[in-house]
Amino acid sequence: MIYLDTSVALAHLLAEDRQPPASLWDETLVSSRLLEYELWTTLHRRRLAGAYGDAARWLIGRVAMLELTPTVLARALEAFPGPCRLRTLDALHLAARAYLIDHTQPVALASFDRRLIACARAMSVPIFGARAL
């Protein structure tokens, strides 16, 4: 199972130069509902919702969504290990992934965000396609 961070979803959706390994899309993907909000906010801000709306809906439909429950939100309030200097939305993503670990099986992280990856590594989180990301 792979936790999909918004940075990877947007890179794929907008065909950026950096792309995750193609094998990512063969995996079971999960993210928090935050992914949906971040995708749409970015598309609207860049005035790309019309051009990329169908692709965004397909991508969102491909990912199992974890709601931002009080338990997930409470975890985001706690400190993260090591020298983590997370921004709010990154902390929410890591808190959602931590919830999944506590309630399911191991979940790797797919992200292009260097801060998020550094903190995830401090938490011993496996990074999907670490060489490619």
- Model pLDDT for residues 80-115, shown as the tens digit of each residue: 887 778 888 888 988 888 888 888 778 899 999 888
- Residue carrying the six token digits 């969102």: 60
- Model pLDDT for residues 11-28, shown as the tens digit of each residue: 999 988 888 888 899 999
What pTM does this model have? 0.88
In order of their start, the domains of the chain are 2-122 (3.40.50.1010)
